Amino acid sequence: MSHTLQSFARDTWVTPAQGLVDIPSAIDGRVVARASSAGLDFAALVRHAREVGGPALRAMSFHQRADRLKALGAYLTERKEQLYALAADTGANRRDNAIDIDGGLVTLAAFASRGRRELPDSNFITEGEVEALSKRGSFVGQHILTPLHGVAVHINAFNFPCWGLLEKLAPALLAGVPVIAKPATATAYVAEALVKLIDESKLLPPGALQLVCGGLGDLLDHLNGQDLIAFTGSLETSEKLRAHPNVARHAIRFIAERDSLNAAILGPDITPADPEFDLFVREIVREMTAKAGQKCTAIRRVLVPRAQQAAVIDALKAKLAEVKLGDPRSNDKAMGPLVSRGQRDAVRAAIATLQSEAEIVFGDPETAAGEGIDAQVGAYMAPVLLRAREPMAAKHVHATEAFGPVATVLAYDDVGQAIELVRRGEGSLVASLFTYEDAVAEQMILGLAPFHGRLLIVDRDDAAESTGHGTPLPALLHGGPGRAGGGEELGGLRSVVHYMQRTAIQASPRRLAKLTGTWTRGAPAAATAVHPFKLNYNELQIGQSIETESRPITLDDIEHFAHFTGDTFYAHMDEAAAKANPFFPGRVAHGYLILAFAAGLFVDPAPGPLLANYGLDNLRFLKPVSPDDTIKVKLTVKQKSAARRPEYGEVRWDVEVVNQNNEPVARYDLLTMSARPAA
């Protein structure tokens, strides 16, 4: 019995009654699900996201949203086998589905961790340093990032129904923006199951996530300038969506990840005797066969030195001959079918186009055989390797993506020609280079970086731990210029910023400090009668400050510190040599002596709520300290943030060390942990 997919609209599961489209199994063609979005009120979905989901998410801090993502990841991990069972019908074996299912869960956890570690416990972000805008310091500026008051529409591709949904969902929810997800129909039954698990968890607030199974309907007509569209799919569909009149009229943010003629390049220094040669061959075969080549990051163009072309082709043919087709439900080591017979037909058509410029050297797109499979009902296709006859004259090789187990070998004569050939792809998600020659790597990186979102350099030193050509990582950019869509996903918190508005705030230091919760110079700094190290986290207030007594710095201090630490650098020990240095008036105190004496001036020695000093940030030595100068310290509570453990909080202190003329000689941020009694 096939399953009629439901959409999750306004926190209710809706079953369509008309317009149903059959979704066949990639394995044997049987209908596994039916989908339609007929009857959905798309205007109401958008209103629900804006009026219910958005306010609920924005009422939470980044830390609270990160905690929800973490809990959601744990909930889904316990139930992921349900997704594996369904995903077999997409044609992927268990190892392939691990990329999608476990990869999505890892990405969710990564954003939860970054949200806790790198974002404040508030609902907006300050970006960059405070900019001085006036002579006397009474007028300053700073950028802040606030969540968009709209909805993120996520249109996902068929090849990753779980990872594609989660890698977009995590940064949007972390930013505080609700999502309407529209999975590709061919694998929507897996995405529906994932969203049903998310709904069952009750970890997301109402309106935070809605799901559309079926067509987009008139959804785009109801968006405005506070909304965002994130799309993964073909260049042609991307162009249609981006050109939608309402999208253009409201300048709706559009993030696209689309066709990409990714390349792998064997350096001219590598021969079959080098380890990089085998690594190169292994990576190409893996990328041709993982998920039957249906990955946006898969290798489509294989660039090799002309002298090594025959050796590379022979090695690839030998490895590809070992690849077996099989039912992914019963053979985890076999390559499964493409997602549908329609997709197989599209790949065959693309191969026919490529054959006008290239010859097939391995495989036959019209035949497929393997144990336990029926190629007439399943969407099976064996790997196909082509060789470009005249790479420099070829055009289709650089413009036609066969989205399946297909790659084309192109021979090059020198590094410059290799760079030119790769660039003809007009922008790609990723290229990988296999070389052990530094000069080759540098020339390739500088020549290819403007045309790629990611470059992977593989050699004998990093191969054992390399995550591979085709693996996007949460911490690094996923996207590319030109043909690849110009979008940027993942990349740590960069993707969170896509869902936020950058605004320049101009105000007085007092007003800015009040808004941001971060003390800045020029803002009031109230002297406290009690040493702030005696105050617990809850008692400390932003702007509380003490100014210490002065301490003279003597020549004996400098010499003792030098001999005690072993730092006998000439600027501290040799008057004539120090004076010859344009930066020093003569012998000067060590910078770290200044820090040590500063700590001695402001530290309260008695046990108290201050638990530990865990670092210094932004340290700058501003003016030399000479023998017989005096120093004193102004210590101000700059910022407070909740820690992961409830018994303490993290406090950032502004430390300014000045000399007898009140001239700053050092500035830095001191980081401490202070006890936090239960409220």
Q: How many CA atoms lie within 13 A of 21 on its CB side?
A: 14
Q: Which residues have CB under 8 Å from 271's CB, separation 6+? A: 277, 308, 311
DSSP single-letter state for residue 417: H
Catalytic residues: 257, 296
H helical segments located in 245-395: 245-249, 275-289, 309-320, 341-354
Cα–Cα separations (whole angstroms), residue 458 to 72, 270, 281, 441, 607: 35, 12, 12, 10, 53
Residue found under tokens 């969902």:
169
Tokens encoding 185:
């129909």
Residues linked to residue 266 through DSSP beta bridges, in sequence order: 434
The dihedral sign for the CA sequence 186, 189, 190, 196: positive
Helix/strand/coil for 54: helix
Please report, as a single letter, which amino acid is at residue 66.
Answer: A
Q: How many CA atoms lie within 13 A of 1 on its CB side?
A: 3
H/E run at residue 31: strand 31-35
Tell how many helices (H) and how many strands (E) occur in the chain: 20, 30
Cα–Cα separations (whole angstroms), residue 63 to 66, 70, 128, 205, 498: 5, 10, 20, 15, 18
| 491 Rama class: left (phi>0) / alpha (psi -120 to 50) / beta | left
Residues linked to residue 455 through DSSP beta bridges, in sequence order: 431
Closest to 156 (Cα-Cα) out of 181, 178, 186: 181
Which DSSP string do the residues of 359-386 spell out, in sequence order? EEEE--TT---EET--TTTS-----EEE
Q: Are 91 and 337 in contact (CB under 8 A)?
A: yes
